[in-house]
Structure 1
Amino acid sequence: MKKHYRSDKSCLNCGTTVPDKFCPNCGQENLELHEDFLHVAIHSVGHYFHFESKFFNSIVPLFTRPGYLTKEYFAGKRASHLNPISMYIFISILFFFLFTANSNMGKKDIIEEKTAAEATKITEATKQDLTKLRKAVEKKAITGEVSDKAATYTYTILDNAEAALDTGTNDHNDAIIFTNPVGKKGALVEKYDPEQQELVLASAEESAVLHSLEVKAREVADDDLKGQLFINKLVSHLPKIMFILLPLFALILKLVNYRSKTKYYVEHLIYSIHVHSFLFLFVSILILISWILPGTADWLQFIGVVVSLWYIYRSMRNIYQSSRWRTIYKFFVLFLSYGVLLVVSGLIVVVVTLYTV
């Protein structure tokens, strides 16, 4: 839509004479103030998202010409393209939104299934404990360690507890756990629970931190639904890790290419921003495709890995102008170094996620 410019050539912002469309002093566009709503809306949206020629001049070469935007930026041709940081922020917001939405899909169903499964699991586990208690009391009654009166009292509690479980109530569960009908030979539950004994022995041998991690990991590993929730929550943290590691990616590039003409850290940082912008936008497109074509998830993951590796290699060769084998060597050094950082940061996030599931 055509813009309406003011006939008055004085800038409304700083008062400088405007020879054409933009003020030469402050850069403000000399637009007519009294425009209809449609003009204002389109201009505001287009200005905020750079949805003009800059957008297409940046997104198209970002996909089709690896390293081109970085070379253009440092060649001084910056007005024709989106600012790297602005583009990265916009794309990363889109990516984080889609990535989190994708990882949380089906989470409600998982929680509902988890609630039902846990109720069934508790019921079955309690019945097994009741059976163990009954056998223990019978053994004590036979050997004379428990009187017939105490044994009968215990049987009554166990029968009432089983009836409560069958009717879906848990009114008598506390009586089973805390009642000690056998007098001096009490604590049958503690004595006849080998898993509890193993945990006590383990806590005596291991440090508190390692023992706590082991318990948390075992809980997640033994519960399929909790394990799925753990994976979903872990996946939701991955975009944040990549966002934090971007400056470190640039630092590794600087160390790997210390002999190249690209000497300043900011040059490597701009290149890293362009690479991550491509990766985020490319993965966002794959996520959208996976929603439209659910059966193609495995193939999309494979395509995503192959294209991402090729893009980084191709852009490195275009930016740093190294030979093919030299670029491959730098690529593997970059890949291994960055991989170590991802593993370390990933372990930290895994530990944090274990305690928040």
Structure 2
Amino acid sequence: MARNKIKQQVCANCGHYFGQDENFCPKCGQENHTPNQPIKHYLVELVEALLHLDSKFFHTIWVILRYPGLITKEYNENKRARYMPPIRLYVFVSLVFFVSLQAPHVYDKSNQKELEKQELDEYFEDSKRELQIYLDSLNSAYLNYRSDSLLLSKQSISIDDSLAKTGQMHWSLVDSIRLKLDSIEQKHIEFKNHPVSMDSLYKILQNEQDSVNINIGNIKFDLTRSEFNKLKSGSDELIDSFILSKNQQPNYFNRITVKQTLKLANGGEDYVHRMTEKIIKFSSGSFFFLMPIFGFLLYLFYIRRKRNYYEYLIFSLHLHIVVFLVLGILFLINIFIELEYYYFLIGIALLYFYLVKALRLNYDQSRLRTFFKSLLLMFIYSIFLLLALVITVILGFFTV
């Protein structure tokens, strides 16, 4: 809540006379605070109530980043009043982190129209340029051939039939290329007059393809465009019939896999964005299971310490907070300045160094022992992370 309270002398609820330092009524528990204040006061209270950003927050962030493992050590020693509660801090930091993962898509959308217009123009101009180059080279080759043929004819070599046939083929091919150029030019004008998104262009180009290639595990097949359009809007019976035609069992998994794959093949970029949002959503929830697992791994690694599991869980919470802080900052910077991949590698290396320092401070073992334990710990935890990633991708694919 806001720190600048307007105090009362008497509790309006029960009539108790407040002492100088009493912030709450000892009789009824009501806060010593006059509610009738300017709207600015309540806006400040609202922001602080939602985010809980007080001096504890900034002090906690400073300590947790500057001194690896110190906040966990002091929190487990019951020196916790100066710090923000780890659960509350984790909720806030993870929210910022997962928002930063989705932010590039939102940021791209703000510039999407102008970028799409440029991409469309480039697409049409490149197509016209390639055809024109081909046309010019064709004309040049024909002129050279005609020049050589005339030279040979002067030497009484009969090539009239060959020259005539070549000329017919040449002008037929030239007419075909010019028709394509005119068609592209016409489409370019139409797109300028009636703007469309790149996703729409993708679908238009996709519909012009003769076939669609789809690969789903053991089910591999090519569809004509008409078969694809019929199947994607078909009933379960039609899809089952199709699966049987590919010598596969028409069970629930195969049926839903075919349906979702057809959606993916037909949906374009929009489908991919929606699936990505689903994956991020499930990923954020998965860490509520992963953090206790990491804490339990710590418990097993240091089981001789005879400490409660709660202490290892606090360590896990604080470590994941630091991970989300560092990676979240990198992702936020990457929205505005495209970072090279090695910046993220440096970030991961720093996080590993942080883990080693935090383990050494909290469990007081040698550097070498702590180093090897941390390597083994991260290897095992990476397996759980990979498993969680696979599950979230599957959930994202099947629920979009």
- TM-score by length of structure 2 reads 0.59
Could you tell me whether the CA contact under 8 Å between 2:356 and 2:371 is conserved in 1?
Answer: yes
Q: What is the one-letter code of the residue matched to 2:341?
A: D
Q: What is the one-letter code of the residue matched to 2:64?
A: L
2:319 paired with 1:317: no
Could you tell me whether the CA contact under 8 Å between 2:23 and 2:31 is conserved in 1?
Answer: yes
In the TM superposition, residue 241 of structure 1 has moved relative to its aligned partner by 2.6
Counterpart in the other structure of 2:47: 45
Counterpart in the other structure of 1:289: 333
Relative distance call for 1:115 and 1:38 in structure 2 (3 A) is closer
Counterpart in the other structure of 1:144: none
More displaced stretch, 76-85 vs 344-353 = 344-353
Counterpart in the other structure of 1:77: 79
Relative distance call for 1:30 and 1:260 in structure 2 (3 A) is same
Counterpart in the other structure of 1:161: none
Distance 2:265 2:353 in 1: 36
Structure 2 residue matching 1:51: 3-state secondary structure: coil
2:392 paired with 1:346: no
Counterpart in the other structure of 2:132: none
Deviations 1:242-280 (A, max 9, x none): 34311111111111111125x111111111111111111
Relative distance call for 1:339 and 1:217 in structure 2 (3 A) is farther
> Aligned match of 2:315 in 271, 275, 280?
271
Could you tell me whether the CA contact under 8 Å between 2:9 and 2:18 is conserved in 1?
Answer: no
Deviations 1:323-354 (A, max 9, x none): 11221222122212211112222222232333
Counterpart in the other structure of 1:91: 93
**Correspondence 1:1-357 to 2 at 5 A:** 3-6=4-7, 8=9, 18=19, 20-23=21-24, 30-46=32-48, 48-102=50-104, 106=108, 112-125=197-210, 200-203=245-248, 209=253, 229=273, 234=279, 237-261=282-306, 263-294=307-338, 296-356=339-399
Distance 1:264 1:11 in 2: 46
* Structure 1: gaps spanning 5 or more residues: 128-169, 178-195
Counterpart in the other structure of 2:185: none
Could you tell me whether the CA contact under 8 Å between 1:313 and 1:331 is conserved in 2?
Answer: yes
Relative distance call for 1:216 and 1:34 in structure 2 (3 A) is closer
Distance 2:105 2:281 in 1: 6
More displaced stretch, 238-247 vs 90-99 = 238-247
Distance 1:353 1:48 in 2: 29
Distance 1:12 1:198 in 2: 72
More displaced stretch, 104-113 vs 26-35 = 104-113
Could you tell me whether the CA contact under 8 Å between 2:296 and 2:309 is conserved in 1?
Answer: yes
Could you tell me whether the CA contact under 8 Å between 2:282 and 2:392 is conserved in 1?
Answer: yes
* Structure 2: gaps spanning 5 or more residues: 117-195, 213-224, 231-240
Relative distance call for 1:217 and 1:324 in structure 2 (3 A) is farther
Deviations 1:3-54 (A, max 9, x none): 3553527696895954514349598753344443334433453455343321
- TM-score by length of structure 1 reads 0.65
Could you tell me whether the CA contact under 8 Å between 2:16 and 2:25 is conserved in 1?
Answer: no
Q: CA RMSD in A?
A: 4.2
Distance 1:39 1:226 in 2: 43
Distance 2:371 2:352 in 1: 11
Counterpart in the other structure of 1:140: none
Relative distance call for 1:43 and 1:235 in structure 2 (3 A) is closer
Relative distance call for 1:342 and 1:126 in structure 2 (3 A) is closer
Q: What is the one-letter code of the residue matched to 2:299?
A: K
Distance 2:310 2:65 in 1: 22
More displaced stretch, 15-24 vs 238-247 = 15-24
Distance 2:369 2:376 in 1: 11
Q: What is the one-letter code of the residue matched to 1:264?
A: N
Deviations 1:116-138 (A, max 9, x none): 333323323169xxxxxxxxxxx
- The aligned length equals 290
